[in-house]
Structures are given as C-alpha cells and as structure tokens.
Chain A
C-alpha cells in the first residue's frame, strides 16, 4: 500500500500545482505528505502541526489580506480547492444516484439548514453544509492540536484537509480541468458574482461563513475562521468521497458507509446543539453588541498577537492592525456577508467540481475500502472531540461570535463561525506555541516554497500524462483518505487523549492490556470526563465518585453507605419534569450517575446490589403517586436498607461467628474490622483466643487491627502472609471477611484470601467467611479480580490486584447476619430473597 500511496500523493500534488499555480496550494500538498508521514511514524504533535501550519496560514492570509500577493494567491487557491471538493461531493451524489441521496441526506442534516430542496440544489447546499459540518469536526479536532503555536488555527485543518484538497484538485483537473481553473481564478479575485448567486440561493449558511472569511479585514480570528471554513468543505468532500467509494466498492464498504453516516449524524447533532447555543448567543450579542465589540477587539488583539507571528512569518506581513480593523468592519455585516457569499459560492462551485471528479475517481477506485474505513473512524474521533471542545468552549465561542458579529439570520453561518471561533479560541489557547512560531514559520515558508515547486512540476507532469494519471487517480482518493486519517490523528494529539479518556468513562482505557490479565478492567488514573455544564451528574454523586477514585472513601461498606447517601441526596433534589412519570424519569436520570460512579471506580458488588435495590424501589412506584410521597418512600427505603443490611449486620454476624469459636482457638485472619468484632464477641463470651494477623504489604491494613486487638488484651501475632505456612499448623481456625459471595458459593475477598483458604484446606483447618452484606450476591463468576492499579514500562507490567475469588469447596462455613450457612445455601437464599431484585436486569 505504501508505495502506491506515495505515487498517488505525488500525482495529486502535481495536479494541484498546475491548476492553482498557487504557492499555498502547492505548499499544502507537500506539507500534507510530511505531516502524514510523521503521523504514521507516531511523531510528536508538534511536528505535524508545523507541517500543517504552512497550509492553513496561506489560506488564512489570503482571506485576511488580499493586499499581499503571496498570501492572496495561496489563500485563494486553498479555498478554491476546498470548494471544489464540496462541489465534487455534490457531483458525486448526483452521479451515483442512489448512494448520492444518502450522502446528500447526511450532508444536509449536518447543516440543519437544508430543508430538503431539489436534488441539485440540495446537493449544492448540502455540499456547503457538509463542508461546515466537516469543518466543525476538523476544527474540533484541530482545537486539541492548538498546542503547536503557529499552526493552531490553520494546522489542524491543513493536516486533515490540505492533502485532500490537493488530491481533490487533482481529480477535478483530470475530470474537468477547464472548469476548475476559472473558478479558482474567480475565487482568487475575491468575488465571482455567479458563484455568489449560486451559493446564496443554495445555502445561506455558507454565506455567513464566507462573510467571516471575506472580511479579511477582520481579526486573525476571522482569518482562522475562514481557513477553517475552507477546510471544512474539504473534509465534507472527503467524507462524501469515502462514502461514495464505499458504496460503490462492496458490502464491506456498505458497513463503512453506515459508519460514515453515523458520523455525519453525530456531527449534525453537534451542529444542532451548537445552533441552539448560537441562537442564544446571538441574542446576547445583539443586546451587547457594543460591549461585545470592545471585548472582541480585545480578544482580537490577543488572537492577533498570537496569530500574527504565524501570518507574518509564514506569508506577507498581514500586520496586527489590519486584523484589529476587521472587528469594526464586521460591524457592517451586509457588505461582508455579500463578499463572503461570493467567495463561498466560488469555493462551493469548486468543491462541487472537485467532488464530481472525485466521485468519478471513486467509482474507478473501487478498491480502497480499508482506507475509507480508516477515514471514517478518524471522522468519528474528530466528531467526538469536536463535541467535547464545543461543550467546553461554548461560552468562549459565544464571546467570539459576538465579536465577529455573525449575521443573526443564518444559523449555519453562525455555526460555522462557532466552529471557526472555537478554532480561533484554541489557537489563542495555543498562544504559548506562538513563541515557537518563528521557527515554524520558517519551516512553513520552506515547505510552501517546496510545495509550490512540486506543484508546478506536478502540474506539468499531470498535463503530460493526465490520462495515465486517471487510472492512478482512482487510487489517489484512497491515498488521500489514508493521509487524512493520519493527519487527523496527529492533529488531534490531545484530542485523541481526550477521546481515550472518554472511552475510559464508558469502557475504561482499552488501549493497554496487561498480557496475562487482559480480562480485567484496567484502572484509569483519570476520572471520567464530563461535559463542562453537564447537569446529569448530581454534585453529591460527583463528589463521591472522586472520593472513591482517590480512595478517600474505601471499603465496600463505606462505599455502599456513601453511595446510598449520595443517591438519597440526588432523589431529594430531583424534580419530576411535566409529562413524565417519576419512576421512569428518575430511573433514567439515575443511570448516568451510576455510570459515573462506576467510571470512577468499578462498583463494589454491594454497591451494585444496593443500586439494584433502589432501582427496584423506583420501578415499583406507582405512576399516580405524588412526587413528594414517592420521594419520601424512596428515602425511607434507603434508610431502612442501610439500617437492616449494614448497621445491624455486623453485630449479628459477630455473635454468630463467636459461637463457632472455642476456647483456646488460634485464629488466623486478615486485617478486618468485622473480625475484630468477632474476636471481641468471643472474648465477651469468655473464650480465650489468640489471633494471628497475616498482613499484606499493600495496603498494610493489619497493623491497625493488631493495635486494637492488643488493646483488647488478646494475644496477637503479626506477620506477613508470605510466611503464613510457618504458623499454619498451629492455627485452629481461619476467619476472613468477604467482599462478595457469588451465586455458586465462591467468595470474593481481599487479595490473599484464596491463598489463605488453600493453606487452611491443606492443614484441614476450618475456613470461616464472614459475610457482612447479605444482599451482596451476584451471578457466578469464575476467578477474577478487579485491577486497581498498574503502570507499565516497555515490557514491565506492574499489577496490583485488590480482590481474588475463593472457590466454594474451600469454604467451611459462611457467616451471615441470618445464620451460619454452607456455601451451598447461597443460591437458595438468592433465589428466595432476591429474586425480585435480581430479575430486574
């Protein structure tokens, strides 16, 4: 795959050079290759960002400062390329027919604005819409990247988009080279009325985005926004391409397409959220325009300062002042909007053309399914990141939108602005990187120059052998796809980490598995990530989750009690929304809280049972019961549960177990509060016992127990579990505490319990298990443990397991608060007492 990809890449670059003859365009492809390679190699984020930076910068510069010839040319080129991609998407849709509608649908959905016009119109609209959507995703993806100072804004889009754009351009050339160049030229000029007209009718949304772009006068933020928008179309095109390719290719491809559709849907959902937010923000903006303008000026200043180095170094000196000026210009939206629309229309047309060409190519390609799938995955990741970023940066975004004075009418435009703004914000965040920008700028310049040269060469080569290349072009899309994912990955950098964290919230970090313990849930040192303004997790639950994560709240009993207390608070603060059943709604809203606790630390089985009990209580609430009464019932049920199962349990168990202890017994045990109670109870009954505490090095819980026992006047021996065999023949009983008892009678206890049980059986010593939570039964589980801590070097796996499982055949007796039971009684009790609760799931 690698060699063909390289060839493909080269060809597209050449094509892009020929058509655009723009340094920026050329630069973009070359950097695209470079970043892609480092990404593949797993290079650091900074490298890709640098590579990427040059591409976006030229685009931005062009938009911002048409005055500077260098910047202008690359910028115009880049947008053209992007737009052609969009057009290509639409074209593909039209060509493919069946597949196209699906793509179209996804496209329009994302933008939200498309109300479902005719196919052609829709396509055009969709393409812009898709573009913005993709941009959003890319912007989000980029946002994590902002670490690289120079490239903050541009770099992320460049990484993902530029190669694609170049490729797209190439394809366009092959398909309809004549058409593209004029479009590009028009875009370069700054406004093509025809294009504008097309764009305006088709999709008002793109126009706002274009507005942002057009006012090159605007601050660096605007520039960045523009670049983002340009990138966005490219991404959309790529997606469309991948989709079309997949459809054309085969059934396996169909799967990929479905994935892609999902992705688009997600992005759409994100957009929708953004839209609503943006609307609110717009209102605020209108009210506070003046203030906002001032703020925006300040922000623009800051952004400019950050961005300026990049723009200056990379291209002509745009100068911070011009950037500052734009905010004022933005105040007059209509003019800017019209200009923007014109640009966008051009871009869109280009995109459409590119998309058509790409669609053709895709049809030809047919073979690169895997690549498309990879791209799709990347898109998903990007979307997730985007969502995160969006949620976190909503406020900032709103501020930025205010500053930019987005057209109130166009939601899509606002959305695009948001995305752009977010990118810009990220860029500002990356301001630290600005210091590095000089070196980066130099690199970017070099890269751009090289890219231009290559582009020229490529253009010549393309002209010479366009026909030959067509066949190769088929392969190109796949190359593009491959490159894109890599670039995106690199760009995402932090984003990927965030993604991992999010995954850990639901699944736990799945990347690293310890070789022999791959079946265990890995421990994550990071608490589960939550959206910034997430109100689904009750503060009490959140606090408790973090405490459990840090082991401030430890031990199954303490965890159960505190969990129930937090959930009680949650129920107390719960208000049933109108037109909702309390039982259903409450049960539904309970889920994320439980999931959060589980994400902080895998639930103790006692917790699981308690939550099951609570769910059962909630489900059994009658729908017509008044809310206050229902909540009272739930709270009292929780109190009773704690009282019956936890508070009363320990003393009853102690008295039961004391009956099993005889005079002169030597008791071997772990550190356990319950065992202390048992020994105390036995002493109260007049039994003279001595205790051997077999401690574990981590955590040394036995030391405290030894102190308490010696204070009670009990003869106590303290030793580590490692030398327990030396004393085992003197021991008459082994007493341990269980964390949980499984359906088959197996006992989950502190790590080391099973080895004590083995030693006890070997010496024919009774092995007594104290079981404090009679509700803590769970379905059968074979030997397992919960992984609580680990770190690893290259080939070193450090594992600390907290629990182990003792098989039922090693347990002599099980002491519960009910009575002393054999392990064979466990399923009976579960069936008799907890059938209603266990049957829920």
Chain B
C-alpha cells in the first residue's frame, strides 16, 4: 500500500475545521492510518500506531492534547482484549478496532456538549468574566449563555505571543457579548473587577493542575490571591498521567514547537508555549465527566487507564 503521511493529514484536518480540537484531529488521523493499514498481525499494527503517534507529536502544533488524546485513543481501542482474542484473523481484528475507534471519536466529539450541560448555570447575569487565550470550550459556554439571554461582560487578555485574544474578542462580539481586550500585563489591574476566571486547558495533570497557554499560571495565581474562582473547561481526553513538580520540570516537548526544538537554538531565549498551573489555584473543572474538584482527576485517570 502507498505510504500514508499522517502528519499532513493531521494538519489538513486542523486547517479544514477551525472548531476541531487538535486531539480530535489527531484521533481522526490515527483512524485514517488504521483504515489504510496493511499490517498482518496485531503486534505489527500496534508498532505502526506508535510510529504514527510519534509523527503526530512532532508536528508543528502544541502537542500536549495531541499526545494525551492519541494515547487515550490507542488505549481505548485496544483495551477490549477479550474481543480481540476471539477474532479469527487480523482482518476481523481490524474491523473491531475500527468500530471501536469510530465509537470513541464520536463519544469524544460529544464531550463539548456534555461540558455545556454541566456548566449550564455557570454564567449568571451581571458577571464579569476574565478569560485567557482561545479556548473552544469557553467560547461555546459563553455563546450558549448569551443564547439563553444572560447578560454578562468579558475581559480577554491579548494572549501573546500569538495574540489569540483578538480572535476571541471578534468571536464574542459576533454573538453579541460585550468584550474588552486587555494587555497580558494588565491582569493584575483588572482582577479586582472580575467575578470569575474561565480558561480552557491543553492538558490536565493527574493532581488536577493544568497545562495551558503561557500566562494561565499568572492569571490563576492572581485570581487565587484575590479569591476569585477559576473555572477550567476541559474535555476528559486531555487528562495526562503525569505530575509536574513545578514549571521547570515540564518536558521540553510541551514547551516548544517541534520546529523550535529541531532548530537547535538556545531554548532559554525561546518563549515557552505553555505553563503549569498548580491545582491549589484552581477551583473547579467542568468536564464531560461532570464538575470535578482537582482532587478527583486522579480517580478518573486511574479509571481511564486501568
């Protein structure tokens, strides 16, 4: 069979649908590679999947959610060993894997709707919400609240270095939500006026801390200092089985794009893409599994991975 460029497919997926999470796109790419796979044994198939995952993690995007989503996907589709063992040959095995993969992706795509349901009463009239970076979950929740007629205002940080805050402001204004873009350095200035902080996450660590766009730690820490609640809207496929001891212990692959890492430049001079927010600064996580405190993440991770 002709060789399949999973990275290209993955990037194409992201470009085609702006509303698609990189993790979902990665899963779809894995599904595509599975569909086109010509392996003859399960072992060979698993090896190829690992290679595909490696390739995806080296694409030029933020890979935190991609790696976690891929790991969970592979784990899920190969989890039912009983069914796989009963299969007569690998062809039937692949049928099973494909079916399970489709189911999994479908259920994962449902997760945003579940988050909307769990955060139904999160936004109330008169609230002043501060958000950071561009999270599709935060946008969806705010849009839903505006659709229900809730009156609230939003402050959005500029979110350097990619200035995604401006895109967020445009999207919010499009649905009629009053919105103000502030400097990243103005978080402390604006915090006392804010009633709640809402952010998304690229990854949720086992202890309940989150990995998110650089600046999230500042935001959460200041909010914590001012006793403002910090809500995290995140899908469960972004849970990661690691515990960063602190920001300096984050793996470099999370901090920088592959292009930067491959360039061989001095990483000290490069701006990191993500930071780690410890769970002490977070209030609640709104996930498709429900509203969870940070201490409950480990329980669900153990459930997912065992």
A629 to chain B, nearest CB (A): 30
Would you call A820 an interface residue if the criterion is a C-beta within 8 Å of the partner chain's C-beta atoms? yes
Check if A819 sits within 8 Å of B249, measured CB to CB: no
Check if B302 sits within 8 Å of A813, measured CB to CB: no
Would you call A768 an interface residue if the criterion is a C-beta within 8 Å of the partner chain's C-beta atoms? yes
Check if A824 sits within 8 Å of B249, measured CB to CB: no
Task: Give Cα A832–Cα B207 distance, bound, in whole angstroms.
Answer: 18
B246 to chain A, nearest CB (A): 6
Check if B207 sits within 8 Å of A824, measured CB to CB: yes
Check if A822 sits within 8 Å of B295, measured CB to CB: yes
Task: Give Cα A813–Cα B249 distance, bound, in whole angstroms.
Answer: 13
Q: Chain B residues with Cβ under 8 A from A178's Cβ?
A: none
| Residues A822 and B245 in contact in the complex (CB < 8 Å), given A828-B298, A828-B302, A832-B302 | no
Q: Chain A residues with Cβ under 8 A from B294's Cβ?
A: 824
B13 to chain A, nearest CB (A): 32
Would you call A821 an interface residue if the criterion is a C-beta within 8 Å of the partner chain's C-beta atoms? yes
Would you call A662 an interface residue if the criterion is a C-beta within 8 Å of the partner chain's C-beta atoms? yes
13 A-B pairs (CB sep. < 8 Å): A660-B245, A660-B249, A662-B249, A766-B246, A813-B207, A820-B243, A822-B206, A822-B295, A824-B207, A824-B298, A824-B299, A825-B298, A825-B299
Q: How many A-B pairs with Cβ below 8 Å?
A: 47
Check if B245 sits within 8 Å of A825, measured CB to CB: no
Chain A proximity mask over B218-249: 1 for CB below 8 Å, otherwise 0: 00000000000000000000000111011011
Check if B298 sits within 8 Å of A822, measured CB to CB: yes
B residues within 8 Å of A by Cβ?
A: 206-208, 241-243, 245-246, 248-249, 279, 294-299, 302, 306
Chain B proximity mask over A795-831: 1 for CB below 8 Å, otherwise 0: 0000000000000000011000001111011001100
Q: Which of B206, B246, B279 contacts A825 (CB under 8 A)?
A: B206
Task: Kindly report which residue of chain A lies nearest to residue B300, judged by CB atoms.
Answer: A828
| Residues A822 and B208 in contact in the complex (CB < 8 Å), given A813-B243, A828-B298, A832-B302 | yes
Task: Give Cα A825–Cα B306 distance, bound, in whole angstroms.
Answer: 14
Task: Kindly report which residue of chain A lies nearest to residue B205, judged by CB atoms.
Answer: A822
A669 to chain B, nearest CB (A): 15
Check if A821 sits within 8 Å of B245, measured CB to CB: no
Check if A824 sits within 8 Å of B302, measured CB to CB: no
Q: Chain A residues with Cβ under 8 A from B242's Cβ?
A: 820
B90 to chain A, nearest CB (A): 32
Instruction: Tell me if A's interface is mostly helix, strand, loop or mixed.
Output: mixed
Task: Give Cα A820–Cα B208 distance, bound, in whole angstroms.
Answer: 14
Task: Kindly report which residue of chain A lies nearest to residue B298, judged by CB atoms.
Answer: A825
| Residues A813 and B295 in contact in the complex (CB < 8 Å), given A822-B206, A829-B302 | no
| Residues A733 and B245 in contact in the complex (CB < 8 Å), given A821-B206, A824-B207 | yes
Q: Chain B residues with Cβ under 8 A from A733's Cβ?
A: 245
Q: How large is the interface on A (under 10, 10 to 19, 20 to 34, 35 or more residues)?
A: 10 to 19
Q: Chain A residues with Cβ under 8 A from B246's Cβ?
A: 764, 766
Q: Chain A residues with Cβ under 8 A from B245's Cβ?
A: 660, 733, 766, 768, 812-813
Task: Kindly report which residue of chain B lies nearest to residue A827, judged by CB atoms.
Answer: B299
Task: Give Cα A768–Cα B306 distance, bound, in whole angstroms.
Answer: 24
Q: Chain B residues with Cβ under 8 A from A821's Cβ?
A: 206, 243, 298
Q: Chain A residues with Cβ under 8 A from B206's Cβ?
A: 820-822, 825
Check if B302 sits within 8 Å of A822, measured CB to CB: no
Q: Chain B residues with Cβ under 8 A from A660's Cβ?
A: 245, 249
Q: Which of A764, A813, A828 has most chain B Cβ within 10 Å?
A: A828
Q: Please provide the 10 A-B residue pairs with the shortest distance between their CB atoms, ordered closest to farther.
A: A822-B207, A824-B295, A766-B245, A825-B298, A828-B299, A813-B243, A820-B243, A824-B298, A822-B298, A828-B302
Check if B241 sits within 8 Å of A819, measured CB to CB: yes
Check if B249 sits within 8 Å of A822, measured CB to CB: no
B129 to chain A, nearest CB (A): 28
B139 to chain A, nearest CB (A): 30
Task: Give Cα A832–Cα B305 distance, bound, in whole angstroms.
Answer: 13
Q: Chain B residues with Cβ under 8 A from A764's Cβ?
A: 246
Check if A822 sits within 8 Å of B299, measured CB to CB: no
Task: Give Cα A662–Cα B249 distance, bound, in whole angstroms.
Answer: 8
Task: Kindly report which residue of chain A lies nearest to residue B249, judged by CB atoms.
Answer: A662
A832 to chain B, nearest CB (A): 7
Task: Kindly report which residue of chain A lies nearest to residue B302, judged by CB atoms.
Answer: A828
Task: Give Cα A820–Cα B248 distance, bound, in whole angstroms.
Answer: 17
Task: Give Cα A159–Cα B95 distance, bound, in whole angstroms.
Answer: 94
Check if B302 sits within 8 Å of A825, measured CB to CB: yes
Q: Chain B residues with Cβ under 8 A from A820's Cβ?
A: 206, 242-243
B146 to chain A, nearest CB (A): 35
Task: Give Cα A820–Cα B302 distance, bound, in whole angstroms.
Answer: 12
Task: Give Cα A404–Cα B116 distance, bound, in whole angstroms.
Answer: 95
Q: Which of B241, B242, B249, B297 has most chain A Cβ within 10 Å?
A: B249
Task: Kindly report which residue of chain A lies nearest to residue B299, judged by CB atoms.
Answer: A828
A744-769 contacts to B, CB under 8 A, are 764, 766, 768
Task: Kindly report which residue of chain A lies nearest to residue B296, judged by CB atoms.
Answer: A824
B33 to chain A, nearest CB (A): 29
B95 to chain A, nearest CB (A): 32
Q: Chain B residues with Cβ under 8 A from A832's Cβ?
A: 302, 306
Q: Chain A residues with Cβ under 8 A from B297's Cβ?
A: 824
A492-539 contacts to B, CB under 8 A, are none
Task: Give Cα A828–Cα B306 distance, bound, in whole angstroms.
Answer: 12
Task: Give Cα A820–Cα B301 distance, bound, in whole angstroms.
Answer: 12
Q: Which of B208, B245, B249, B294 has most chain A Cβ within 10 Å?
A: B245
Task: Give Cα A681–Cα B161 distance, bound, in whole angstroms.
Answer: 39
Q: Chain A residues with Cβ under 8 A from B208's Cβ?
A: 822, 824
Q: Chain A residues with Cβ under 8 A from B295's Cβ?
A: 822, 824
What 11 new A-B contacts, CB under 8 Å, besides A662-B249, A824-B297? A766-B246, A766-B249, A768-B245, A813-B243, A813-B245, A820-B206, A822-B243, A824-B294, A825-B206, A825-B298, A828-B302
Task: Kindly report which residue of chain B lies nearest to residue A815, judged by CB atoms.
Answer: B243
Q: Which of B246, B297, B306 has most chain A Cβ within 10 Å?
A: B246
A733 to chain B, nearest CB (A): 7
Task: Kindly report which residue of chain A lies nearest to residue B295, judged by CB atoms.
Answer: A824
Q: Chain A residues with Cβ under 8 A from B296's Cβ?
A: 824
Task: Give Cα A211–Cα B230 distance, bound, in whole angstroms.
Answer: 93
Task: Give Cα A768–Cα B243 distance, bound, in whole angstroms.
Answer: 11
B55 to chain A, nearest CB (A): 24
Q: Chain B residues with Cβ under 8 A from A812's Cβ?
A: 243, 245
Task: Give Cα A124–Cα B208 distance, bound, in whole angstroms.
Answer: 80
Chain B proximity mask over A709-734: 1 for CB below 8 Å, otherwise 0: 00000000000000000000000010
A178 to chain B, nearest CB (A): 86
A813 to chain B, nearest CB (A): 5
Task: Kindly report which residue of chain B lies nearest to residue A814, judged by CB atoms.
Answer: B243
Task: Give Cα A829–Cα B241 distance, bound, in whole angstroms.
Answer: 15
Task: Give Cα A501–Cα B273 distance, bound, in whole angstroms.
Answer: 67
Q: Chain B residues with Cβ under 8 A from A819's Cβ?
A: 241
Q: Chain A residues with Cβ under 8 A from B243's Cβ?
A: 812-813, 820-822
Q: Which of A768, A819, A832 has most chain B Cβ within 10 Å?
A: A819
Q: Chain B residues with Cβ under 8 A from A824's Cβ?
A: 207-208, 294-299
Chain B proximity mask over A544-583: 1 for CB below 8 Å, otherwise 0: 0000000000000000000000000000000000000000
Task: Give Cα A226–Cα B297 distance, bound, in whole angstroms.
Answer: 79
Task: Give Cα A766–Cα B298 distance, bound, in whole angstroms.
Answer: 19
A565 to chain B, nearest CB (A): 32
A723 to chain B, nearest CB (A): 25
Q: Chain A residues with Cβ under 8 A from B249's Cβ?
A: 660, 662, 766
Q: Which of B248, B294, B299, B306 has most chain A Cβ within 10 Å?
A: B299
Task: Give Cα A512–Cα B243 distance, bound, in whole angstroms.
Answer: 46
Task: Give Cα A259–Cα B243 distance, bound, in whole angstroms.
Answer: 60
B138 to chain A, nearest CB (A): 25
Q: Chain A residues with Cβ under 8 A from B299's Cβ?
A: 824-825, 828
Task: Give Cα A768–Cα B245 distance, bound, in whole angstroms.
Answer: 9
A764-796 contacts to B, CB under 8 A, are 764, 766, 768
A227 to chain B, nearest CB (A): 73
Task: Give Cα A821–Cα B243 distance, bound, in whole angstroms.
Answer: 7
Q: Chain B residues with Cβ under 8 A from A828's Cβ?
A: 298-299, 302
Task: Give Cα A824–Cα B297 distance, bound, in whole angstroms.
Answer: 9
A53 to chain B, nearest CB (A): 71
Task: Give Cα A825–Cα B246 distance, bound, in whole angstroms.
Answer: 19
